[in-house]
Amino acid sequence: MRALSKKTDLPPDLIVQCDEGPCPEDPAQPPDVDDGPPVWTEETKVLLAAEPSFKKTLELMHLDMKKEASIELWSLHEKLPRKRGALIGLSKAFFELGDFYRSLMIVLRNYERYLEAPLSKTPEDLWLLAYPQAYWDNILAYARKYGQDPYFIAAIMREESQFNTEALSPAGARGLMQVMPSTGSQVAQMIKMRGFDGGKLFDADTAINIGTWYIGLLMKRFKGDPYIASAAYNAGPEAVASWLAKNGNSRDRDTFVESIPYMETRGYVKKVLRNYAEYKRIYGKTAALPSALDQRPPDSAGAAKEQYAEAGVRNEK
């Protein structure tokens, strides 16, 4: 289930509050005025570099104070003109600070319409920012350990939390993978994770470890089908099993998706599968994202054993 609220220090105007986002009034919706696709040019680099807050961000970054740098950088998001692609530079800067949530929010808030445009009209940088390889070392490690596709894990994570490590739903689901504490506790026992408590779901490595194992559980139960596994991640495996039984376990996945009785889950599955397709398309051929923080500050500075009862672990949210 995607997060409905965020445990974060972002301004309230950036917090998603509806079940199927973005909401009509959500600031992630692009503004009415726009002067064309965002392009990261020399002019925009100069524009961003001239901002005192950006200079301070560079100083903090080179002092390895990334959290403080991210907060300082966020103060620029309402100041920079959207024309000339200046906000793309800001999104890139957050990306390089490892703040993938703020990076993505800037893209969704200002440029989401270009992600629906023909591929030839959308700058490649925008795709890399919209579908980042966030926490990629962690994802790769646990995808390999549990025999999963890392792009599917990233697709689930993007929809669940939008890469916000502190995402918190009203039901209590936590972290990047929106795992309930009770589910986290069960999975931690299965994988022999020591010292687990619910607060550790806000840690990226712990969340990805537990979430990937749970996805592996669902993929095993539903025969490796990402359509059905993503539905089960959102609505629960028992609900999905009952839908399949009613529909005769149809092999037509489009029919299955449209037959999902929960509107939220139906939309969720479509978004996750879109994410999954984009990740595979983008990273099969793209180069690394060019840097926005390439300046210098002033001188002032093996698969685990799966011994479990499948019905005993559910991420009820």
List the catalytic residues: 160
Which ranges constitute the DSSP H helices of 176-222? 181-190, 204-221
Phi/psi-derived region of residue 274, left when phi > 0, alpha when psi is between -120 and 50, beta in every other case: alpha
Report whether 302 contacts 145 (CB < 8 A). Answer: yes
CA dist., res. 236 & res. 313, Å (int): 10
Residue type at 26 in one-letter notation: D
Place of tokens 């591929």: 119
Q: Which residue matches tokens 């697709």? A: 155
Q: What is the DSSP letter of 12?
A: G
Cα distance from N-terminal residue to C-terminal residue, the chain: 7
Give the residue from 40, 74, 233 showing the smallest Cα distance to 148. Answer: 233
User: Are the C-beta atoms of residues 142 and 201 closer than 8 Å to each other?
Assistant: no
Q: Are 178 and 161 in contact (CB under 8 A)?
A: yes
Token pair, residue 175, equals: 């972290």
The structure tokens listed for 199 are: 């607060």
155: Cβ contacts below 8 Å, ≥ 6 apart: 230, 272, 273, 275, 276, 279
